[in-house]
Amino acid sequence: MTGWKRFFGLDLFDTAVHVGITFAVMVLLADQARQPEPVVILGCASAVAFSIRRHFALKRLGRPGEVSGETTTGVHRQLDNEARLQELESLYGRVAELEERVDFAERLLARKDEPMKLESPKE
């Protein structure tokens, strides 16, 4: 899915057709009415119609978090927090393993001061 459709819910062609038809009707209305008010009203109506089309197109795409134009920063933040939590748990495991290794090394070093006893092999 293109970035255009992901944001607008409609592809570039649909958006261009909507804008083109709106512009053409606005030009015709401006030529006939000779007043700016109907042209402005038509422009506003077209923007409302486009936002309604966008709403339903995004809903159809299954992206309810973006229907109103909001971004999904809450979802991204939650995924980021979950990734950090997994990384933290992994680090805790590594620290525990390093603690065990340090304890083992300390025990070996403590034994070094003791004289080693060689036992004769039993036959």
Share the mean pLDDT of the chain: 79
Contacts of 61 (CB under 8 A, 6+ apart): 1, 5, 9
Q: What is the DSSP letter of 1?
A: -
> Can you give the pLDDT at residue 52?
86
Label residue 67 by pLDDT band (50, 70, 90): very low
Nearest alpha-carbon partner for 9 in 72, 47, 58, 64: 58
pTM value? 0.45
On whether the CB atoms of residues 10 and 27 are closer than 8 A, the answer is no
Across 49-74, average pLDDT: 69
Rounded CA gap, 4 and 21, in Å? Answer: 19
pLDDT digits (tens, 9 = 90+) for 31-56: 887 778 888 888 888 888 888 888 88
**Structure-token pair, residue 83:** 């990734």
CA pair distance 117, 111, nearest whole angstrom: 11
CA distance 46 to 61: 22
- Give the domain ranges of the chain: 1-71, 76-112
Place of tokens 């003791």: 114
Task: Look at phi and psi of residue 62 and say left if phi exceeds 0, alpha if psi is from -120 to 50, else beta.
Answer: left
